[in-house]
Amino acid sequence: MSNRLAQPDFWNRQLAERMAEMAEIRAAGPFARTSFINPLTGETEQFYGVTRYADVVEISKRPHDFCSGKGAVSVPDMPEEALNFFGSFINMDDPRHARQRGIVARSFTPRQLQGVLDSVETICTEVIDGFCADGEADLVTAFAQPFPLLVICDMMGIPRSEFDTVLTATNVILGGGDPEFMGDGDPLEALFTAGLALTGLMNELAEDRRANPTDDLTSKLVHNDVGEDMLDPSEIAPFFILLAVAGNDTTRTAISHGMNLLALNPDQRRAWQDDLDAVSPTAVEEIVRVASPVTYMRRTATRDISLSGQDFVEGDKLVMLYGSANRDERVFADPERFDVRRDPNPHLGFGGPGPHFCLGAHLARREVSVAFRQLLTRLPDIEVDSPPVPLQGMGMPLVGGIKSLPVSFTPSDPLGSH
Ligand code: HEM
């Protein structure tokens, strides 16, 4: 129980430093038994950090034995009332999960999302236009944060005027307790307020789209004129909260870490920048592997069970450490090396094989690819000026974010996207 996985100062450090300690935890064994203080109750509890690739795959594949629907996929259980009100299908098991995911997935195929995938290019151009003439910027606030959020807001049909509401609320929900986002008040209350803001916004939009459907995703999810199974009104807002948090902070974190990884590895940057077309597909996967933006997902043992020589009892919490699994020496050669041409690269950054595998992986890949293509062609000499400022969370953050990343570059003219 002597590891520091649950301590804020483990996560509030630079990626390479924390991953060096993670390698020691992984070497010590496949399951890192860890004590933590539940911030919601003040009680001491424990979880098992799952450090190795093979076990993350196995747990992801066996939802009957390792479920998502007991307590939540976060380390502390979510209070019952929060799950009832805001809980989305990431915290559910089949058949409820399969029903809701199935409805959404029909509108989430690359074909159905063609318009959104095309708009990624235009939105990226627009966001870079906003700072490219300045010669310097905080890449997180100027680019990595607004870009994916605008994509999701446009996809759902959220008006631009509500952008700040969505940004503030998602920062609270995934800020890991960072006081800059949470304020000084009660964390649980801040979470509820943020959830309510998004719920109110989405309920209003859903009601409007029921009466006046457009071609946005919200309309597809609420408009039922073909007798198909649709999301219930009470399921729409939790789905939006899931999308806003799952699709926004993750992509932001991938882009921010990606830029910093290029700064730390100039040879890799040169290789990518010299041949964007050929290298982009593998470079994007390598960023997701090395950054592992989603730090963990939790599962709960549904019965007494053993795995890789360890006995678990019903109710035990297994926390899959994606950053560790993605550096498992048994699978990845020279795992600490950032290699933009790594191939094969069977990383688990979008989750292991199983029913909860990231629904937005193709959108995320497109966003990260377009982001670097545009940054490296429009601002070819962009440089990181000082180390990234990590999120100052209260414990183990679900998404291991970067709050700011100062960059500078030769100013260039906006292209104009209209
Ligand atoms: C680099 C960016 C991203 C990363 C690293 C990422 C990673 C993940 C991971 C690890 C999971 C959990 C998988 C599991 O439990 O087995 C997940 C689930 C999910 N992701 Fe992503 N994601 C990213 C971007 C996105 C985007 C852009 C969207 C949508 C706009 C999205 C939507 C979702 C949804 C809806 C789920 C829940 C799926 C379910 O429970 O069935 N993600 N993602």
Residue among 142, 122, 136 at smallest CA distance from 416: 122
Q: Which residue lies with its CA nearest to atom 15 of ligand 1?
A: 356
* Amino acid identity at 233: P
Distance 415 CA to ligand 1 centre (A): 32
Probe ligand 1: pick from 358, 362, 363, 372, max atoms within 8 Å of CB?
Answer: 358
Whether cis (ω within 30° of 0) applies to the bond prior to 380 is no
CA distance 183 to 119: 34
276 in ligand 1 pocket by Cβ < 6 Å? no
Q: What is the pTM of this model?
A: 0.95
Read off the tokens for 368: 């990260």
351 in ligand 1 pocket by Cβ < 6 Å? yes
89 in ligand 1 pocket by Cβ < 6 Å? yes
* Amino acid identity at 12: N
Read off the tokens for 241: 């909260």
Q: Which atom of ligand 1 is nearest to the CA of 354?
A: 16
Digit-by-digit pLDDT tens for the chain (418 residues) are 578 999 988 998 999 999 999 999 999 999 999 999 887 788 999 999 999 999 999 999 999 999 999 988 999 898 877 777 778 899 999 999 999 999 889 888 888 888 888 899 999 999 999 999 999 999 999 999 999 999 999 999 999 999 999 988 888 887 766 777 766 777 778 888 888 999 999 999 999 998 999 988 998 888 766 556 788 888 888 888 888 888 888 999 999 999 999 999 999 999 999 999 999 999 999 999 999 999 999 999 999 999 999 999 999 999 999 999 999 999 999 999 999 999 999 999 999 999 999 999 999 999 999 999 999 999 999 999 999 999 887 778 888 889 999 999 999 999 984 4
Q: Which atom of ligand 1 is nearest to the CA of 88?
A: 40
pLDDT score of 228: 67
* Amino acid identity at 72: A
CA distance 61 to 52: 15
Angle between helices 146-156 and 163-174 (to 10 degrees): 120
- Beta-carbon neighbour count of residue 377 at 10 Å? 10
56 in ligand 1 pocket by Cβ < 6 Å? no
Residue among 371, 374, 399, 369 at smallest CA distance from 284: 369
Distance 136 CA to ligand 1 centre (A): 31
CA distance 103 to 108: 9
Q: Which residue lies with its CA nearest to atom 37 of ligand 1?
A: 90
Read off the tokens for 81: 């009332």
DSSP assignment of 344-381, as one string?
Answer: S----TT--SSTTS-TTHHHHHHHHHHHHHHHHHHSTT
Angle between helices 233-246 and 163-174 (to 10 degrees): 70
- Beta-carbon neighbour count of residue 215 at 10 Å? 8
CA distance 381 to 104: 41
pLDDT score of 224: 64
Reduced to 3 states (helix: H, G, I; strand: E, B; else coil), residue 146 is helix
Residue whose entry in the numeric block shows the structure tokens 């989750």: 351
DSSP secondary structure code for residue 284 in this structure? H
90 in ligand 1 pocket by Cβ < 6 Å? yes
Angle between helices 249-264 and 15-28 (to 10 degrees): 100
pLDDT score of 1: 53
Q: What's the angle, vertex CA 415, arms to CA 412 and CA 418, rounded to 5?
A: 160
pLDDT score of 418: 46
- Residue length of the chain: 418
| C-alpha dihedral, 211 to 216 to 218 to 223, nearest 10° | 50
356 in ligand 1 pocket by Cβ < 6 Å? yes
Pairing state between β 389-390 and 402-404: antiparallel
Q: Which residue lies with its CA nearest to atom 7 of ligand 1?
A: 350
Probe ligand 1: pick from 250, 285, 292, 363, max atoms within 8 Å of CB?
Answer: 250
- Beta-carbon neighbour count of residue 256 at 10 Å? 26
Probe ligand 1: pick from 55, 240, 350, 357, max atoms within 8 Å of CB?
Answer: 350
Q: What is the sign, positive or negative, of the torsion defined by CA atoms of 169, 171, 177, 181? A: negative
Domains of the chain plus CATH, in order, are 8-408 (1.10.630.10)
294 in ligand 1 pocket by Cβ < 6 Å? yes
CA distance 323 to 11: 12
Q: Which atom of ligand 1 is nearest to the CA of 348?
A: 10
Start-to-end CA distance of the chain, whole Å, equals 57
Q: What's the angle, vertex CA 19, arms to CA 146 and CA 139, rounded to 5?
A: 20
pLDDT score of 226: 57
Distance 295 CA to ligand 1 centre (A): 12
